[in-house]
Amino acid sequence: MQDLVIAGAGIAGLTAALSFAQDGASVRIYERSARLDEVGAGLQLSPNVTRILARLDVLDRLIDQAVKPEAVVLRQASTLAEVASVPLGTAAERRWGAPYLVIHRADLQKALVEAALEAPGISLTLDSTVAAADASQGGIRVAIKSKGNSTTDRADLFVAADGVWSNSRAWVRSDASSRFTEKLAWRTTILADSEAGATFAAIGATSAVTAFMHSGFHLIAYPIRAGRAINLAAFTPGKALAKSWNGDADPSLLQTALRGAAPALAEMIDRSGPWQVWPIYTVDASLPWSRRGGIVLIGDAAHASTPFAAQGAAMSIEDAFTLAGAMTEGGLATLPAWESQRRERVRKVVRRGALNQFAWHASGPIALARNLFLKSRSPDALAADLDWLYGWTPPGWDDGRSL
């Protein structure tokens, strides 16, 4: 694959550009935003994708801003009692062959952009919306709108990495809609050396990813920005809001939803903010991701899922890297096989997210059974349950090729 156009300079689009360019392709990315702002929240980057970021020479660029958490710790939000702990840190590196990191999305995007701008063969044009793509004779014709002007580009392949509210999806499948899950993600960042940060440290979780579980909500907390800040993301039921990362949120809604949290947790939440809210939409992964002729969806555009397995960005990176490998190896003919392999993997991740959601929001006897089950398992056994996810390597990885 020599020549391609990508819609979107998010995690999927930038990783695709780097992966294809590493294989010698010429890549043009068009990004709708005029600036790549600090949008998004903290991300957990598991070993299945940190190994890919290392191969794309991105890991070294972000490592200073990332944190290697020592464990994922599950706690009851009502009592703060620990229910289970999965070892990460050096244990993760030993077990899964690459580090488990936590980072702000903006720091990952910055590292990807820097690598893309230095790579030969990649151009990035901001303030440019991909408005249409048609498979025509001799490739794909892509229409771009930029500052009131319309232009056309041509490529062998069009990669739509335009996120959960993708307009490209309509060029691939008849049902292009995304579905609101009636759940909201509330997000804020607190400084480690602030009052809220001190309250958080008293709960004892500054070096781990902590999930506080409750029947009405769950809250995930972990350090970012080399430990200078703590990312908080709370998940509650809620009504649809503006489709963006930057919806300002009324904290009283969050405080009401978090009734039942232990006093120290409630105090930390009171001291944190401002909170921003993101309505959680999903995209049906079972519908087509690609169209004959060379139009393909990746990342959230193809299969946005709930964030409860913390794998949305990870699946975007896996999609991007394996797509480049498949195209380099066998061209467009490999697209159906690539799509079905990726669909299978994404489905498994979606099932894991649903299981987490069920377990974390359990109440009464189900919560008791969950706690007994988790306490009966050793940390090593809990880690082994994740081997299929974090120990994954792209096809052909050991040969140094992606397929």
Ligand X SMILES: Cc1cc2nc3c(=O)[nH]c(=O)nc-3n(C[C@H](O)[C@H](O)[C@H](O)COP(=O)(O)OP(=O)(O)OC[C@H]3O[C@@H](n4cnc5c(N)ncnc54)[C@H](O)[C@@H]3O)c2cc1C
Interface residue list for ligand X (CB under 6 A): 7-13, 30-33, 40-41, 43-44, 129-130, 161-163, 167, 185, 187, 233, 278, 299-301, 307, 310-314, 316
Smallest gap from residue 144 Cβ to ligand X (A): 8
Cβ closest to ligand X, residue 25 vs residue 41 = 41
Smallest gap from residue 319 Cβ to ligand X (A): 8
Please give the span between the terminal C-alpha atoms of the chain, in angstroms, as a whole number. 14
Smallest gap from residue 284 Cβ to ligand X (A): 15
Cβ closest to ligand X, residue 9 vs residue 229 = 9
Cβ closest to ligand X, residue 321 vs residue 371 = 321
Cβ closest to ligand X, residue 163 vs residue 394 = 163
Instruction: Please report, to the nearest 10 degrees, the dihedral formed by the alpha carbons of residues 186, 73, 308, 189 taken in order.
Output: 30
Number of Cβ within a 10 Å radius of residue 155:
22
Smallest gap from residue 79 Cβ to ligand X (A): 25
Smallest gap from residue 375 Cβ to ligand X (A): 25
Cβ closest to ligand X, residue 8 vs residue 121 = 8
Cβ closest to ligand X, residue 159 vs residue 367 = 159
Smallest gap from residue 161 Cβ to ligand X (A): 5
Cβ closest to ligand X, residue 83 vs residue 309 = 309
Cβ closest to ligand X, residue 26 vs residue 129 = 129
Cβ closest to ligand X, residue 305 vs residue 371 = 305
Residue nearest to ligand X (CB): 10
Smallest gap from residue 303 Cβ to ligand X (A): 9
Instruction: Select from 147, 140, 62 the least CA-distant residue to 102.
Output: 62
Three-class secondary structure assignment of the chain: CCEEEEECCCHHHHHHHHHHHHCCCEEEEECCCCCCCCCCCEEEECHHHHHHHHHCCCHHHHCCCCECCCEEEEEECCCCCEEEEEECHHHHHHHHCCCCEEEEHHHHHHHHHHHHHHCCCEEEECCEEEEEEEEECCEEEEEEEECCEEEEEEECEEEECCCCCCCHHHHCCCCCCCEEEEEEEEEEEEECCCHHHHHHHHHCCCCCEEEEECCCCEEEEEEEHHHCEEEEEEEEECCCCCCCCCEECCHHHHHHHCCCCCHHHHHHHHHCCCCEEEEEEECCCCCCCEECCCEEECCHHHHCCCHHHCCHHHHHHHHHHHHHHHHHHHHHHHHHHHHHHHHHHHHHHHHHHHHHHHHHCCCHHHHHHHHHHHHHCCHHHHHHCCHHHHCCCCCCHHHCCCC
Cβ closest to ligand X, residue 41 vs residue 74 = 41
Instruction: Please report, to the nearest 10 degrees, the dihedral formed by the alpha carbons of residues 188, 189, 195, 197 taken in order.
Output: 120
Smallest gap from residue 162 Cβ to ligand X (A): 3
Smallest gap from residue 51 Cβ to ligand X (A): 14
Smallest gap from residue 334 Cβ to ligand X (A): 21
